[in-house]
């Protein structure tokens, strides 16, 4: 570079650049030369790029599982890699205390999630679980698990992480039951360990109690939404399902594309606008030079995660809808720059959960819109509103009571009209759920509803 200095300054002078400025420019170039991409440097990067591209194209399972294992314990990086894996149509299997180990593993045509990549589950806990499983076989029950593992390594935080991630599902499907009794389970684990050390006989080792399971208090299972929130917090991804599945009818009605479909259409059909939807995962606010706010919003749909940009006018208009966990439908314009696609939001719509899904608790997702979101047995009486029908409105302050109310209504037959209203504290407005008008609103049902906390009942007689 020293040999080029005089040549550069002379050439700059001949083109009208004064000597001082030419020297400053050359000094900047000289600094960059310390990390300039010379031919040898570029060749090494090109070779690595070719090798990894070959592995990804020809050995996708091995390559992606190795890539995940390199970032074990880094939820943000694992989340981004899983998004790419889903785009490649490779299935990610949930973590399992009987199948998972420290690394991500190939299992058939799928990849099994690593125990060590669950939030709060350390390498010592994973080593203790894996060693015990290899030595004495799979865990057959929760009693079997706490009897065999060391609570010093599989401590409360690790236990809770395993539960929230669904790692115990094959031996105990009720995650709420385990989570609410972690202290009790760990206390029993420590008691058993102390007795074994002291050479005493454990209550579970007696022949007549050999197969007796630990008795835990009855606990209502979490809703699917609650379980999925836990999965995302502790895994960085949704594995057992996706919150968007409960919004399928709205997606059809608004002609929503998945992000993957939209990117494909951009490349093949040159589309630059679409309606997308997703559950909001993260919001990062920034201020421009003028002081106006703009936001980067990360969303997740059933195909993958993607990022959108909200400018100040959209924030002013839709700020009440832009919060973590909310499901929204957005209209976007795509700004295509080389291989990158930036999405600018031009409209936001609040997505509505499938009423049929809400009311009957089914896990099946309808592929078509329906005019009867809440299916009940067809009553034999005339369903046309007449002078003898009553109209009732049930207003809920707590959505947790919805399933129980739905079951009561579902068993009824009659001509009474029922309106169900839920007050959404985030949107600060009432949301009306249309559930049909074929219900028998008898005195027993009225008494039951009036006994529920947070439920208001209004009767309007024709």
Q: How many CB atoms lie within 10 A of CB 29?
A: 13
Q: How far apart are CA 229 and CA 331, in angstroms?
A: 25
Q: Residue 365's pLDDT is what? A: 31
Q: Which domains does the chain have, with CATH numbers?
A: 2-35 (no CATH), 59-212+219-235 (1.10.150), 243-350 (2.40.50.140), 355-460 (no CATH)
3-class DSSP state of 107: strand
User: CB atoms < 10 A from the CB of 174, how many?
Assistant: 17
Contact 140, 171 (CB under 8 A): yes
H helix intervals, 73-122: 75-87
Nearest to 115 by CA among 126, 130, 131: 126
Cβ burial 300-320 (10 Å sphere, 16+ → b, else e): bbbbbbbebbbeeebbeebee
Give the SS3 label for residue 69: helix
> What are the DSSP E strand ranges found in 13-104?
91-93
Distance CA 311, CA 313 (A): 6
CA pair distance 210, 458, nearest whole angstrom: 55
DSSP state of 374: S
Kindly list the distances between the CA atom of residue 167 and the CA atoms of 64, 130, 345, in Å, as whole numbers in the listed order. 21, 13, 38
Say if residues 163 and 179 touch (Cβ distance below 8 Å).
yes
Q: Are strands 305-310 and 340-350 parallel, antiparallel or unpaired?
A: parallel
Chunked in runs of 10, what are the mean pLDDT values of the chain (462 residues)?
Answer: 86 90 87 69 88 96 96 89 90 96 96 96 95 95 93 94 96 94 88 70 45 74 89 91 87 89 80 89 86 89 88 90 90 80 90 64 34 33 40 75 69 65 66 59 79 77 46
Question: What is the pLDDT at residue 261?
Answer: 86
pTM: 0.63
Closest CA to 282 of 306, 261, 260: 306
CA distance 443 to 33: 86
Tokens of 103: 């690394």
Name the β-bridge partners of 299: 280, 306
DSSP string, 307-366: EEEE-HHHHHHHGGG-STT-EEEEEEEEEEETTEEEEEEEEEEE----HHHHHH---PPP
User: Which pLDDT score, from 0 to 100, does residue 400 have?
Assistant: 66
- Looking at residue 462, what is its pLDDT? 42
Would you say 276 and 247 are in contact if contact means Cβ atoms under 8 Å apart?
A: no
The residues pairing with 278 across neighbouring beta strands, listed in sequence order, are 328
* Alpha carbon distance 394, 441 (integer Å): 11
What's residue 415's pLDDT? 60
Quick one: how far is CA 431 from the chain centroid?
A: 24
Nearest-angstrom CA–CA distance, 40 and 299: 41
Q: Which residue has the tokens 């390559």?
A: 63
In a 3-state reduction of DSSP, which class is residue 423?
strand
**Regarding beta strands 391-396 and 417-424, do their DSSP bridges make them parallel or antiparallel, or are they unpaired?**
parallel
Q: Give the residue among 147, 214, 211, 144 at the shortest CA–CA distance from 177.
A: 214
Q: Per-residue DSSP letters for 398-419?
A: -GGGHHHHHHHHHT--SSBEEE
């Amino acid at each position: 570079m020293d040999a080029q200095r005089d040549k550069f300054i002379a050439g700059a002078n001949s083109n009208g650049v004064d000597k001082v400025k030419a020297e400053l420019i050359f000094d900047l170039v000289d600094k960059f030369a310390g990390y300039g991409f010379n031919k040898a440097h570029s060749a090494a990067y090109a070779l690595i790029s070719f090798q990894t591209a070959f592995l990804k194209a020809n050995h996708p399972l091995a390559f992606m599982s190795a890539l995940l294992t390199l970032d074990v314990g880094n939820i943000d990086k694992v989340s981004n890699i899983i998004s790419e894996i889903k785009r490649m149509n490779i299935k990610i299997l949930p973590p399992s205390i009987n199948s998972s180990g420290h690394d991500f593993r190939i299992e058939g045509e799928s990849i099994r999630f690593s125990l060590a990549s669950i939030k709060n589950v350390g390498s010592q806990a994973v080593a203790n679980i894996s060693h015990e499983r290899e030595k004495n076989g799979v865990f057959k029950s929760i009693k079997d698990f706490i009897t065999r593992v060391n609570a010093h390594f599989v401590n409360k935080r690790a236990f809770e992480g395993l539960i929230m991630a669904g790692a115990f599902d094959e031996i105990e499907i009720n995650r709420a039951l385990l989570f609410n009794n972690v202290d009790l389970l760990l206390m029993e684990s420590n008691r058993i360990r102390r007795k074994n050390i002291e050479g005493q006989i454990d209550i579970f080792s007696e022949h007549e109690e050999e197969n007796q399971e630990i008795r835990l208090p009855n606990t209502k299972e979490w809703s699917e939404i609650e379980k999925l929130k836990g999965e995302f917090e502790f895994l960085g991804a949704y594995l057992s399902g996706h919150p968007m599945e409960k919004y399928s009818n709205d997606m059809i009605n608004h002609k929503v594309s998945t992000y993957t479909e939209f990117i494909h259409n951009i490349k093949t059909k040159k589309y630059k606008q679409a309606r997308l939807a997703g559950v909001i995962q993260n919001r990062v606010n920034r201020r421009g030079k003028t002081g106006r706010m703009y936001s980067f919003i990360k969303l997740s749909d059933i195909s993958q995660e993607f990022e959108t940009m909200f400018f100040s006018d959209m924030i002013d208009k839709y700020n009440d809808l832009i919060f973590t966990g909310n499901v929204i439908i957005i209209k976007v314009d795509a700004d295509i720059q080389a291989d990158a696609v930036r999405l600018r939001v031009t409209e936001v719509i609040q997505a509505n959960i499938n009423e049929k899904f809400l009311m009957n608790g089914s896990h099946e997702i309808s592929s078509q819109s329906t005019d009867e979101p809440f299916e009940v047995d067809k009553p034999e009486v005339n369903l046309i509103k007449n002078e003898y029908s009553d109209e009732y409105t049930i207003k809920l302050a707590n959505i947790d009571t919805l399933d129980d109310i739905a079951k009561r209504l579902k068993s009824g037959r009659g001509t009474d009209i029922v309106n169900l209203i839920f007050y959404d504290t985030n949107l600060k407005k009432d949301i009306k759920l249309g559930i049909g008008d074929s219900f028998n609103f008898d005195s027993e049902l009225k008494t039951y509803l009036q006994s529920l906390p947070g439920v208001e009942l209004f009767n309007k007689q024709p």
